[in-house]
Structure 1
C-alpha cells in the first residue's frame, strides 16, 4: 500500500491550486482493499479508450476482479472526470489520482510539476490516440466570418486553452503567416466556455482540441479556418501514472493497460457501436464522435508509444517553457514503456513501428462499383434509417449514393482533397473539376481558401457549396 501522504501546493500554468491530502491513500483500512483513482476527460474523445469507453464497458474492473481473486485483494475503482488536463494534474499532485489521461501539452506540464515530489512523480506509460499530421487541433470561426486565412485574425480575440497543444498550434499557425501570438488577443478559456463565446459572438475564433472545433462545424455555427496539420507536427493524448503507485502495484497498472488495449481493439473493430456508446455516455453528437473515432477517422487509437510522438513532445517543450508553464523535463526518464512491453510481449516492437490506420474504411461501392480501400478518397454516409453506414470509392461516388437514396442523411464523411483529413461533406467547400475522371470530378476541401486556390489553378474548375455539388454529381 502507499505509505506517504503529503500536503502540496500545486502551481499550474500560473494558477495556484492548494490541495490537502487525506490519509489512507491507496489501500483500505483492512489492508486488503486497494482503491485505484482514475482521472479522465469524458468529453475529450481522443482519450475514450482510457476513460469514457473503458469506464462504460467495465473492462478495467473485470481485469481487477480476476487479479483480486488471485491475490486475495479487493480492488475499488474511483473514476474522476475533468474538463481538461491542468485540474487533473492538480489532483495528481495532491495524490488523489493514480492514473490519468490528457493531451500532450498538459502531459509535459504534469511530468515537470510532479518530478520533484517522489510520492507523486508521474511517468508517461501509454498513448490513447494520435494524429501524425496534428489535425486534432484546429481553428474555427463563425460561418459568416470574413476571415479567409489565419492571417485575417490579426487584432482579433481568439479563445484557446492556455498552455494546451491547441495554444501551441495557434502560435505555429500564426508564425506561418508571419505573425506571433502578440498579433492577436488570446483569451484563455476552457473548451466549452470558448465554444459558447464563439457562438455568442464574443470572440472571433476558437483554437481548440477534439472534439470542440468539429462539434461547432457540425452544429452549423462555425467553419474551419486553419487545420493544425498544416505544421506537420504530431499531436496525441496519453496516459500518465504515479510512479510510486506503479512500484507498489505494478499488476494494477498492467491490468489497466490490458483493459485499455482490449478497449482499443473493440473500438477499432466496432467503430460505429463504440461511437454510439461514447455519445450516449457524454451527450456529444454521435456523428461528431464518429468523425474522429470512426474508420479513417482523425484519431488513430493505439496504446503504443511511437518515437514520432516522443519527438513531437520535444518540439512542444520550448513553447511551454516560453510561457513559463514548466521547467525542463527529461523525456528519456519520463517516458516509460515497460508496462506496455509486459502487456504486448513480443508483439510490441512491431506494433510501435506501425503507423497504419488501425480502422481503415473498406467495403464495396454499390453505386460506382468496385472495392473501397483507399485512404485518399474513401468516403462514408450514415443514413438516418440505417443501422450501418454505406461506403463509396470517392467523394463523387458518395454524392451519387446520397442522391440515389430517399432517406435522410445523419452525416456524410469525405477526405479533404489536399490533406486527406476526414470532414463532414455538408461542411466542405466543393470544387467541380471537369478535367478529372467521371468518378473524381467533385472534390471536397475542408478550408474555403484551399478550394478557391485549387479552382484558380485549374482552368474550368468552379467552387460549389454542398447542395450545388449534390446537383452536379
Structure 2
C-alpha cells in the first residue's frame, strides 16, 4: 500500500470505516461502466459519448450544486459521482482507481500529495475561510483559543484536514504550541454524534458539520477568516485520467461546468439553499449557512495560489503533520484552462 493509505489507516481511529468506504466506492463506481480508455496515447481517441467521468465529492457538495444548477445537462460524456464524508477516503478512492477527480481543501490535498497519491491540482476554489471553525459546547468554559491549552481537541476528518491547519495556526497566533493540546481524529459523522452527546469539549470541523454543530447548541470560538486558513481548495485530477486522450477533454469541460455551477450559486442563493435542504436533509438555517460559507469561485491555480498554499504546507511540515513536505508548484497541471 502507498504511504498515504498507510498513514491514514494507522493514524486515525476510523481506519476500518475509511477503508470500507474506499472499497465500496470502487465497487459502486466501476460496476456497469462502459468501455474505458487504457490511458495510452496510441490509437484513436474514444468518442466523447463513450467516456465516463467519475467525479469525487464530499457530503454531496458538488453533486447538489451540479444538479441544482444543471451544470452537466447536455454533457457529451457520462458522469458518475463517488461520494464520501471526508477527504481521506476520497483520496483513497482515487488511489484505488475508483474516482477521476478530487474535491478538497488545501491541506487534505497536500497530505495526499505527500503520501504519493498520483493527482494534480487542475483548478482552485476560493472562499473566505468561514466554513472552517473550532466549536465548543454552549456552556463550555472554553471562551477563546488560549483556553484550549491542556484540552483535548477532536479534529475531523483525519490527520491533515483543513480543520487541523486552522487549529495549528490559531494556536500559534494565541501564543501556544501544537503540543499544548491533545488531538484526536474522528470522521465527521462519528464526531457529530459524540459532540451532540456532550462527549467532546472542542471540535475542529468544516462545512455542513460545523453548521449543524452550531445550530445544535455549539459555540464557535474561532474560524478561518482573516488568513487563519488560505481560503483555497482544489479540484484535482488523477494523473491516469489526465494522461487519457479520451478523458482529458471531458475533464477540461467538467471543470468549466463546475465553474459555471458556482456562478449560478452566487446568483441563485435561495435556489441553492433549497437544493441543499432537499438533497442533504439540512434545515433551512443550516442550508443558508452552507450557502454563505461555501466556495464561491473557481479560479486558475496561479503562482499566488501556490504561494498561499505553500505556507500551509510549510507550517504543517514544521509541526510534523505533513511529512515529507510538498512543493505545491510541482503538483499543478494548468493544461485544463479554467477561464
Instruction: Report TM bin, short chain.
Output: 0.7 to 0.9
What is the distance in 1 between the residues matched to 2:106 and 2:139?
A: 32
Which SS does the other structure have where 2:72 is aligned?
helix
Structure holding more helix per residue: 2
Q: 1:230 to 1:129 in 2, by over 3 A?
A: closer
The superposition leaves residues 75-123 of structure 1 with CA deviations (integer Å, 9 ceiling, x where unpaired) of 33221100111111111111111112111111112233346xxxxx211
The superposition leaves residues 138-167 of structure 1 with CA deviations (integer Å, 9 ceiling, x where unpaired) of 111111112221122222221112311111
Which SS does the other structure have where 1:338 is aligned?
coil
- Runs of 5+ unmatched residues, structure 2: 11-18, 38-45
Q: 2:243 aligns with which of 222, 244, 247?
A: 247
Which SS does the other structure have where 1:303 is aligned?
strand
Q: 1:176 to 1:328 in 2, by over 3 A?
A: closer
Partner residue of 1:310? 306
Shift of 1:232: 4.2
Which SS does the other structure have where 2:55 is aligned?
strand
Q: 1:288 aligns with which of 263, 266, 286?
A: 286
Shift of 1:27: 5.6
The superposition leaves residues 233-270 of structure 1 with CA deviations (integer Å, 9 ceiling, x where unpaired) of 42232210012312322210112012112211211111
Partner residue of 1:128? 125
Which SS does the other structure have where 2:298 is aligned?
coil
Pairing of 1:42-121 with structure 2 (within 5 A): 42=59, 48=61, 50-60=62-72, 62-64=74-76, 75-114=77-116, 121=118
What is the distance in 2 between the residues matched to 1:236 and 1:51?
A: 19
What is the distance in 2 between the residues matched to 1:85 and 1:247?
A: 23
Which SS does the other structure have where 2:215 is aligned?
helix
Structure holding more strand per residue: 1
Please tell me whether the aligned partners of residues 39 and 81 of structure 1 are also in contact (alpha carbons under 8 angstroms).
yes
Partner residue of 1:168? 165
What is the distance in 2 between the residues matched to 1:257 and 1:211?
A: 23
Q: 1:204 to 1:334 in 2, by over 3 A?
A: same
Shift of 1:271: 1.0
Bigger Cα displacement from structure 2, 18-27 vs 328-337: 18-27
Partner residue of 1:204? 201
Q: 1:15 aligns with which of 9, 13, 32?
A: 9
What is the distance in 1 between the residues matched to 2:168 and 2:2?
A: 32
Number of matched pairs: 310
The superposition leaves residues 309-368 of structure 1 with CA deviations (integer Å, 9 ceiling, x where unpaired) of 322210111344343544232322212333124xx2xxxxxxxxxxxxxxxxxxxxxxxx
Which SS does the other structure have where 2:78 is aligned?
strand
Please tell me whether the aligned partners of residues 87 and 108 of structure 2 are also in contact (alpha carbons under 8 angstroms).
yes
- Runs of 5+ unmatched residues, structure 1: 1-6, 65-74, 116-120, 345-473
Please tell me whether the aligned partners of residues 207 and 293 of structure 2 are also in contact (alpha carbons under 8 angstroms).
no
- Structure number with greater Rg is 1
Partner residue of 1:347? none
TM-score normalized by the length of structure 2:
0.80
Partner residue of 2:134? 139
Shift of 1:223: 1.2
Which SS does the other structure have where 1:60 is aligned?
coil
Please tell me whether the aligned partners of residues 4 and 112 of structure 2 are also in contact (alpha carbons under 8 angstroms).
no
What is the distance in 1 between the residues matched to 2:226 and 2:256?
A: 34
Q: 1:193 aligns with which of 181, 187, 190?
A: 190
Q: 1:152 aligns with which of 119, 138, 147?
A: 147
